[in-house]
Amino acid sequence: MTTGGSERPGGVRYEPDERPPLALSGGLGLQLAVLCITGVALAPAIVVRAAGGAESYLTWAVFAAVLVSGISSVLQARRIGRIGAGYVLVMGTSGAFIAICVAAIAQGGPAMLAILVVISSLFQFLLAWRLSLLRRILTPTVAGTIIMLIPVTVMPIVFDMLTQAPEGTSVLGPPLAALATVLVICGITLKSTGALRLWAPVIGVVAGCVVAAYFGFYDVDRIVAAAWVGLPEGGWPGFDVDFGPVFWGLLPAFVFVTLVGAIETVGDGVAIQRVSWRKPRAVDFRAVQGAVGADGVGNLLSGLMGTVPNTTYSTSVAVTALTGVGARSVGVVLGLAFIVMAFIPKALAVVLAIPGPVAAAYITVLLAMLFVVGMRIVIQDGIDYRKGLIAGMAFWIGVGCESDVIFPEYLSTVAGGLLQNGMTAGGLVAILLTLFVELTAPRRRRIQTPFEVASLPGIREFLAAFASRSGWGEAMAQRLDAAAEEALLTLLREGEGEEGGDEAAGRRRLQLTAHKETGGAVLEFIAGPGEDNLEDRIALIGEGSDVAPEREVSLRLLRHLASSVHHQQYHDTDIVTIRVDAPVSGRG
């Protein structure tokens, strides 16, 4: 990979594998830390105060939340084994947990919260391990819709921050500070295509703080009063292992919200890949699995330390899209900054002193870009009336629930008011509608064979019978036969370079699923993993790629025979889905 950071206007300057200048990595990492630290510290503070917790526990919960967020953010960027995405994904405390965390502390104390978070985090590891089983449910339509609903859920809080200022402040102060922030960020971003664009967010925040200081509502006293270095006054709350009625009553809600947070992480794991590379790439679901796994580690550490669970912050996706820098070093700096801030109260105070209107204005820009990222994910594979209905219904029901205009008197009593959260309600609608489509789809035909060339005769018989049952003629049967043959041969060749070679391939099994769709058929191959993504290989044909000649022939034939090819790569599983359109005379 090049390290020069070549750029197309408005595009990606540094990809994940590239190394930008240290000053740039440090500046962007610190910028992300400054932008997200308020949210990281605010969620546990809200939870503890709302539940009537002690001040000593409050200081511990905030310290632990910042520390865990730093550790898990570094893990997301660097990836250890199968844990971590390998992309810049900010980890921070999850606002979706606020309601049930308040209930846990109020009913059982901090020790009850700790054990509930630990137990529920285990479900994220399970989801990360078997994510491929949910591929038909956690579709781009579902993930993109949830990403689009994140701004809907957060914006009411952000807009409330626009008017936050001490009593006696001029009424012009908050709007002018917010306006200065937005104008500087948007002006630089829209007109600059060089290095200045990278610093647009921090320059905008500084400009807003200058205006706030002029009107006298930049909180200098907070900074002066804070210590330079120190540990929290409180200590670890321990675990409540009695497993009484409170535990069993709250556990289902914790598990559900944990899985909702994991779905958000899946969306972020997909979205960050879309904005981190210069040329469009197929989504690597191994990285998504790693993101969910690191999210699970973050929640496990949060439980062990007795604080509010965390999740990925979509802010990192928006900032990466805004600045064009997806280098992993930014995520490492961000995580280290969180860790250092946890032990430096004065550093936290500098960040927390940023006025609400300035922070709200900046977050508004990021959320606006995030909404667009969600739209792109929804339409990335094309959109038909089914996908459009799912996305539209889920989005607007989410908006309605968040706005408390859809039967609030009933929804407030369901799972502690969980469905009043727009992202949760809309996400559930998207999942349920997707499930309905899957359950009512035409019956899928399946065959399992050894993953080897010798299985081709059996596959031909299977596809011939499938074509006959579907009412297609010989032309369609031959097209299915040829497409399946090229897909199988290509998958086998992709696995030749792996340890064990052909012998390992022979021990693996292949599952081929076929079902009919309007105007054609969809074939799904599930086999052992390969190194390269077929979507990317097909896209590179004719662009001077390094694809071996014999492999390029198969890829060209596959591209000719199939109207679409999608390759989802998971740990231990490769799933290739191809659509074959029926000849005009043979459509049934």
Domains in the chain, please, with CATH?
22-152+236-353 (no CATH), 383-436 (no CATH), 445-586 (3.30.565.10)
Q: Which amino acid is at 127?
A: L
Give 164-195 as a DSSP string: ---TT--TTHHHHHHHHHHHHHHHHHHH--SG
pLDDT at residue 544 tops 50: no
Among 149, 119, 159, smallest CA distance to 361 is for 159
Condensed to tens digits (0 to 9), the pLDDT of residues 167-185 reads 777 888 888 989 999 999 8
Condensed to tens digits (0 to 9), the pLDDT of residues 211-222 reads 888 888 877 777
Instruction: Tell me the average pLDDT of the chain.
Output: 77
Condensed to tens digits (0 to 9), the pLDDT of residues 33-88 reads 876 777 687 778 767 776 777 777 877 888 888 999 999 999 998 888 888 888 88
Among 544, 535, 545, smallest CA distance to 569 is for 535
- Percent with pLDDT over 90 in the chain: 5
pLDDT at residue 545 tops 60: no
Those residues whose C-beta lies under 8 Å from the C-beta of residue 257, and which sit 6 or more positions away, are 94, 96, 97, 100, 120, 418, 424
Give 372-414 as a DSSP string: HHHHHHHHTT---HHHHHHHHHHHHHHHHHHTT-S-HHHHTTS
Alpha-helical runs (H) found in 215-344: 220-225, 245-274, 285-305, 315-323, 328-342
Those residues whose C-beta lies under 8 Å from the C-beta of residue 253, and which sit 6 or more positions away, are 100, 103, 415, 416, 418
pLDDT at residue 267 tops 60: yes
pLDDT at residue 5 tops 60: no
Condensed to tens digits (0 to 9), the pLDDT of residues 456-485 reads 888 888 888 888 888 888 888 888 888 888
Q: Are strands 564-570 and 509-517 parallel, antiparallel or unpaired?
A: unpaired
Question: What are 346's two structure tokens?
Answer: 């004065």
C-alpha 267, offset from chain centre: 4
What does the pLDDT read at residue 512?
A: 86
d(CA 341, CA 64): 11
What does the pLDDT read at residue 433?
A: 92
What does the pLDDT read at residue 547?
A: 43
pLDDT at residue 553 tops 80: no
The alpha carbon dihedral of 217, 220, 222, 225 has a sign of negative
Q: What distances in angstroms separate CA 399 from CA 151, 155, 370, 392, one per listed residue?
A: 10, 11, 16, 11
Q: How confident is the model at residue 368 (pLDDT cuts 50, 70, 90)?
A: confident
What does the pLDDT read at residue 556?
A: 61
d(CA 34, CA 30): 6
What does the pLDDT read at residue 67?
A: 92
What does the pLDDT read at residue 389?
A: 92
